[in-house]
A and B are shown apart, each in its own frame.
Chain A
Amino acid sequence: MLIKGKSWKFGRDIDTDAIIPARYLNTSDPAELAAHVMEDADKDFYKKLSHGDLIVAEENFGCGSSREHAPIAIKAAGLSAVLAKSYARIFYRNAFNIGLPIFESSEAVDGIKEGDVVEIDADTGIIKNHATGAEFKAKPIPPFMQELINSGGLIEWTRKKLKIA
């Protein structure tokens, strides 16, 4: 799978309250959540972004609450992926479980400026910055997470395990 889009840069410790504030958690409707994505980090973010854009962030992206609404809001807003130096662990699990592509590479984050068009080959983990021509490699996805992706996510994986056709 090839991912390509404009990058939006964020700092370190972007918490799930910034990604989707709790005041909107009285719903789990993806479209409603999407309209408030990253609102407390950048008030007009949803209005500014274009379909396929990427979030590029520093360390510990998605820290804080376990709300799956966070990766859901990012995905439903049409963002194609998150690239960060590191992730908080619950966000990391959740992203895989709901099928939001996420990648880890400190060099790539440092080598990408806001607005740069970035292309990621999800299969090889090769990250290309079209603005500079620089190429980076994302940290490999652990084999079990790859198995989850190949099964079509945790729900499909569970169906197979329970032998539900």
Chain B
Amino acid sequence: MPMTITEKILAAHAGKEAVSPGELINSELDLILANDITAPIAIKEFMKIGAKSVFNKNKVALVPDHFVPQKDIKAAEQCKLLREFSTDQELSLYFEVGRMGVEHALLPEQGLVLPGDVIIGADSHTCTYGALGAFSTGVGSTDVASAMATGYLWFKVPESMKFIYHGKLNKWVGGKDLILHTIGDIGVDGALYCAMEFEGEVIRALPMHGRLTMCNMAIEAGGKSGIVVPDDITKEYVTKRAKREFRFYTSDKDAKYAAVKEYDCSKIEPTVACPHLPSNTKPAKELTNISIDQVVVGSCTNGRLEDLREAASVIKGRKVNPNIRMIVIPATQEIYKNAMKEGLLEIFIDSEAVVSTPTCGPCLGGYMGILAKGERAIATTNRNFVGRMGHTESEVYLSNPAVAAASAVLGRIGLPEELGIPNK
């Protein structure tokens, strides 16, 4: 029976020859993830189960990243729960401040999520790891509790939707623009319950950081997962990081898809999602009258080294507009260190942006850059719901790092070319 990559990975983990969409399976798990927001409930529920220990102390990753360094006493209490549980259970994958990073940037970087894996995380952006050719999806805390005890979780095998990107990318267009354009096309529930499979010559040429950005936002279209069939780019990325075996799966030629969408990338420009949904997209050039108060470059979507390089290349030798603030958040300690070595941090500081320690912070309105009533931000993050970054009467626009950096200089939404940066 012809199968998609997603069906093959799930079949292999359910001990079956084949699976088809709609089928309920009990899948073995390669990694289980939770953070300082979701793990406290998972730990409490795990205790209720009464299991003595987690199924495998090397397959449960606890990453405090949302409100750390601990933003207040309550957040500190939650983090303490994670630390104590990790010590009690002798978890090898607990990441204290100083070793942590934004979870979905950290785990791929550390080679802890690999092609062919089935991964769950109590965080909706767990779908990020599909970029490596894994099946990876967000679940709730109780699901994580059950999974920590058993090493398994039930899934309905999702239907797959195929998204094909043709042509060549325009300047300043990357993974973020492709996924925003796609969500703008299909809507925030356009891929509800589906596996979104990204392919085409543009994806085959897209660097890993762009693939991670695209799969990261599959959830913003309602997707259960995002996935890219692994190739040489995947191999190059994982080989130097993996500490265990991995397997490449592909989709069969005649595999069934619930829908196929095709995009001509020559028509996709730098794209911005306007308040208050990620699907409310417009080309950035149509929004140059929108003034802003804050710029955020960071998050599990666009806080990787390549994202910082892109932002730095635009802002180098320029100043953040005196009316606004720019906050740059390298997503992991390794990214922070490399950004320092490459001189990117100096570029940001010279341009009068601030550079923060890794944290999810402002992306979910936690801390480290909260918006006042009536304030407006452009951010490289993933959600722009009402009140997402602060006051319910504040606004968030989502963009790629280059547009965010150009906007920081301009004091309004704008493009690098407006700063005299050539488009070639």
A-side residues, CB < 8 A to B, are 13, 15, 17-18, 21-23, 25-28, 40-41, 43, 59-60, 63-69, 72, 86, 88-90, 93-94, 97-98, 142, 144, 153-155, 157-159, 161-162, 164
Contacts and interface: CB of A to CB of B under 8 A. Distances in A.
B146 A155 contact: yes
Contact of B50 (A18, A23, A25, A159): A159
Contact of A97 (B74, B142, B219): B142
A65 B37 CA distance: 11
B69 interface: no
B140 A66 contact: yes
Nearest to A94: B140
A123 B121 CA distance: 32
A66 B51 contact: no
Contacts of A69: 37, 41
Given A86-B189, A164-B49, A60 B146 contact: no
B72 A26 contact: yes
Contact of B139 (A28, A41, A90): A90
Given A25-B66, A164-B50, A67 B277 contact: no
Contact of A154 (B143, B188, B189, B383): B143
Nearest to B74: A26
Interface stretch (B85-93, B227-235, B384-392, B414-422): B384-392
Given A66-B122, A164-B51, A17 B385 contact: yes
A159 B385 contact: no
A109 B389 CA distance: 31
Interface string B156-198: 1000000000000000000000000000000011001100000
A23 B38 contact: no
A13 B149 contact: no
Interface centre among B40, B67, B141 (most CB of A within 10 A): B141
A39 to B, nearest CB: 8
B222 A89 contact: yes
Given A25-B66, A40-B387, A162-B149, A68 B41 contact: yes
A72 B71 CA distance: 23
A66 B139 contact: yes
Contacts of A28: 40-41, 44, 78
A69 B255 CA distance: 38
Contacts of B189: 13, 59-60, 63, 86, 88
A86 B124 contact: no
B115 interface: no
Contacts, number: 142
B69 to A, nearest CB: 13
Contacts of B192: 60, 86, 88-89
Given A17-B386, A17-B387, A89-B222, A97 B143 contact: yes
A114 B222 CA distance: 27
Given A18-B385, A86-B189, A88-B222, A68 B149 contact: no
A60 B188 contact: yes
B306 interface: no
Closest 8 CB pairs of A and B: A94-B140, A26-B74, A97-B142, A22-B364, A68-B140, A60-B189, A66-B124, A40-B387
B45 interface: yes
A159 B49 contact: yes
Given A68-B140, A158-B49, A158-B149, A63 B38 contact: no
B142 A26 contact: no
A68 B139 CA distance: 9
Contacts of A159: 49-50
Contacts of A158: 49, 145-146, 149-150
Contacts of A142: 24, 156
Given A90-B124, A97-B143, 7 more contacts: A17-B383, A17-B387, A63-B222, A66-B122, A88-B222, A155-B48, A159-B50
Given A13-B188, A66-B38, A66-B123, A26 B138 contact: no
Contact of B143 (A22, A72, A93): A93
A89 B37 CA distance: 19
A162 B54 CA distance: 12
Contacts of A89: 192-193, 222, 224
A164 B142 CA distance: 17
Contacts of B156: 142
Nearest to B42: A68
Nearest to A159: B49
Contacts of B126: 66
A107 B184 CA distance: 27
A93 B140 contact: yes
B45 A155 contact: yes
A40 B145 contact: no
A37 to B, nearest CB: 14
Nearest to A65: B124
B138 A90 contact: yes
Nearest to A12: B189
Contacts of B392: 40, 43
Nearest to B50: A164
A60 B156 CA distance: 18
B78 A18 contact: no
Contact of A64 (B49, B75, B365, B383): B383
Centre residue among B50, B142, B365 by max chain A CB count within 10 A: B142
